[in-house]
Copies of this chain bind each other. A is one copy, B any other.
């Protein structure tokens, strides 16, 4: 018996997950191990815990426990802004005149504006527990930096953020949100690190990239007493924390006996996608149920759809461990005309393995089509979406329109990772008809991938 489905499904506090789900423990083919950039041997716990907090280094390497308890303090913080609603897009369905049933998990109802806070609070908690003074990190669009600033402020930790230069300049509001939460923000590349100085010398006038900013933040952390580095995407630990998204989604769906046919998420480094799909992919791997799972990436930075599956550095400065992933090469810099986020050259090792194993699909979309979808969605569903999230919206709309043609009543679930309130320059460009698309040529990608490290 199916109950009437409300516009928004909120879990009760008592229904909220008390454990994260560690998808890797259920994977038959585990992701390849991280390699030490100096020895090119698998990294040890000791090596990792020089960069990350000990507990997070443990989580990074944990391939055996399917579930990990969420500490009480983190559960408490989660209750301030979670559960996130699972929204039935009734108005959108009506507007599209589609027989498809569309749901989205909306992670934007917190000041960081996105799902990033789910991992930020966990990482800040473990840093505090270990007695550290502070953490360093990088941020692109600023969502992660904002999230980390909020988390550090809550636990009274120092927070030093390297912000990709182009975002620092184009998104002064994000910078001020971080400062309001007490963080110090430095545009990257900067003169505060060796790597930064070197990159500035080689590429004067560069817009910066996530890869550069990661290198600077890592260097700063390992060279400063009482500091560790934290990262908002790509890593196994991040996907673990983000599994809260998928678990809440699954519980909400189960409550109303809804079974999705398609699960869609945008993918930059993989934090949202990995979290959203985790329990669905778990069922798929265990052979309990099949789902069509789609990763959506920008056509201007197409790591899964056009990259190489190989060991590569996670950062431009090559100070981080190497990971086996779909990559465009750690030197790949997305075109500056790309405003839609998801600018990372690689992809989470876990998601890369799942993709390599044929357990999910990947599609790339161009940014003008993404902003069209964003605007259409905003006008009907009220929420002004982040450009990143709008990649998933684009494909959800495409799938819903296919259903309109075929008459299929598919159930589509997508991740609406955040709001676009700090992306209005990009919207302005679109509103003014000045947004253009950029797709790298095969030669560009080949040239960048030719510089992949020789371990492969």
Q: Which of A205-231 contact B (CB under 8 A)?
A: none
Asked if B6 contacts A424 (CB within 8 A), the reply is no
Contact check, A10 vs B7: say whether CB atoms are below 8 A apart: no
Cβ contacts under 8 Å, A311 to chain B: none
Q: Within 8 Å CB of A153, what residues of B?
A: 379
Does A288 have its Cβ within 8 Å of any Cβ on chain B? no
| Known contacts A173-B173, A424-B172, A424-B173; is-contact A378 B80 (Cβ 8 Å) | no
CB contact under 8 A between A80 and B181, given known A109-B109, A421-B422: no
The A111-165 residues at the B interface (CB cut-off 8 A) are 111, 113, 150, 153-154
B-contact bits for A61-98, CB 8 A (1 contact / 0 none)? 00000000000000011011100000100110000000
**Are A383 and B111 in contact (CB-based, < 8 A)?**
yes
Complex-state Cα separation, A54 to B250, whole angstroms: 47
Determine the distance from Cα of A344 to Cα of B165 in the docked complex, in whole angstroms: 39
B180 and A431 contacting across the interface, CB-CB below 8 Å:
yes
Is residue A290 contacting chain B, with contact meaning CB distance below 8 A? Answer: no
Asked if A176 CB lies within 8 Å of chain B CBs, one says yes
A7 x B80 contact (CB < 8 A): yes
Is the Cβ of B424 less than 8 Å from the Cβ of A176?
yes
Q: Given that A173-B421, A177-B424, A424-B172 are known contacts, is A380 also in contact with B154, CB under 8 Å in the complex?
A: yes
Pick from B77, B81, B180, B384: contact of A111, CB below 8 A.
Answer: B384
A431 near B179: Cβ-Cβ < 8 Å: yes
Q: Max chain B CB contacts within 10 Å: which of A76, A77, A382?
A: A382
Do A80 and B381 touch across chains, with their CB atoms under 8 A apart?
yes
Q: Does A389 contact B (CB under 8 A)?
A: no
- Among A173, A176, A181, max chain B CB count under 10 A is at A176
A428 sits at the interface (CB 8 A):
yes
CB within 8 Å for A382 and B80 given contacts A6-B13, A10-B10, A421-B421? yes
A399-430 interface (Cβ within 8 A of B): 419, 421-422, 424-425, 427-428
Known: A109-B109, A419-B111. Is A176-B382 also a contact (CB below 8 A)? no
Q: Are A110 and B431 in contact (CB under 8 A)?
A: no
Measured in the bound complex, the distance between the Cα atoms of B13 and A90 in whole Å is: 14
**A6: contacting residue among B12, B180, B382, B419, CB under 8 A:** B12
Interface membership of A59, Cβ < 8 A? no
- A453 close to chain B: CB less than 8 A: no
Least Cβ distance of A369 to chain B in Å? 16
The answer to whether A7 touches B173 (Cβ under 8 A) is no
Q: Closest B-chain residue to A8, C-beta based?
A: B79
Q: Is A182 an interface residue (CB 8 A)?
A: yes
A375 contacts the other chain (CB 8 A): yes
Instruction: Check A182–B91 contact: CB distance below 8 A.
Output: no
* List of 10 A-B pairs having minimum Cβ-Cβ separation, nearest first: A173-B424, A7-B79, A176-B424, A111-B384, A6-B13, A153-B379, A421-B421, A176-B428, A179-B431, A10-B10
Given contacts A10-B10, A180-B384, 11 further A-B contacts (CB under 8 A): A6-B13, A7-B80, A80-B91, A81-B382, A110-B382, A111-B421, A113-B421, A173-B422, A176-B431, A177-B424, A182-B379
Q: List 28 A-B contacts (CB under 8 A).
A: A6-B12, A7-B79, A7-B80, A8-B79, A10-B10, A80-B87, A80-B381, A81-B382, A109-B109, A111-B378, A111-B382, A111-B383, A111-B384, A113-B421, A154-B380, A172-B428, A173-B422, A173-B424, A176-B424, A176-B428, A177-B421, A177-B427, A180-B375, A180-B378, A180-B384, A180-B427, A181-B378, A182-B379
